[in-house]
Amino acid sequence: MSNTPDDRKYADSHEWALLEADGNVRVGITDHAQELLGDLVFVELPEVGQSVGKGDECSVVESVKAASDIYSPVTGEIVAVNDSLEDSPEVINHSPYDDGWIFIIKPVDTAELDDLLEADGYESFTEDE
């Protein structure tokens, strides 16, 4: 299962963080995470304008089985959320790396991304888990 995109970074709490051309960071959960959770049925999105610190709980995804906190991979301000997940949380199951993104942060310091794992590092992390 080597379908982990190498254009972004990964947290060991199973979020991905993609630095975009405008300097903002798009965040979602990994394919591995959605598979562990199973069918997603609810997403509690953060609020636009909300300030978050690196490692803060800022969103919750719930599958039929369980609720799981989403931690912000960087410090900054939420500038956009994926509203379509409110009605169709299952998009995360089908497209965790694209349509299933959860929120976008305007980061204070993109150097915080350096603390995260590369794609291959994340893959070996999940294999050992």
Partner 1 sequence: MTKKTILNDAHRELGARMVDFGGWDMPVNYGSQIDEHHEVRKAVGMFDVSHMTVIDINGTQAKPFLQYLLANDVTKLTRQGHALYSCMLNKTAGIIDDLIVYFLDDTHYRMVVNASTRDKDLAWIEKQAGPFDVTVNERPTLAMIAVQGPKARQKVCPLLPDRLGFSAAEIKPFSACWFGEWFVGRTGYTGEDGFEIILPENKAEGFWKQLLEVGVKPCGLGARDTLRLEAGMNLYGQDMDESKHPLESGLGWTVAWQPEDRDFIGRSALEANRKQTNDQFVGLILEDKGILRGHQTVVLDDGLKGEITSGGYSPTMERSIALARVPATIGKTCKIDIRGKLKEATVVKPCFVRQGKVQIENE
Query: Can you give the binding site for partner 1, defined by CB under 8 A?
Result: 38-39, 41-42, 44, 60, 62, 64-65, 67, 86, 93
Largest CA distance in the chain: 37
State the nearest-atom distance from the C-beta of 71 to partner 1, in Å. Answer: 15
Q: 24 - beta bridge partners?
A: none
State the nearest-atom distance from the C-beta of 67 to partner 1, in Å. Answer: 7
Nearer to partner 1, 36 or 79 (CB): 36
CB count in 10 Å sphere of residue 90: 15
Nearer to partner 1, 48 or 64 (CB): 64
The set of residues, in sequence order, having a beta carbon less than 8 Å from that of 76 and lying 6+ positions away, is: 25, 51, 52, 105, 106, 107, 108
State the nearest-atom distance from the C-beta of 27 to partner 1, in Å. Answer: 20
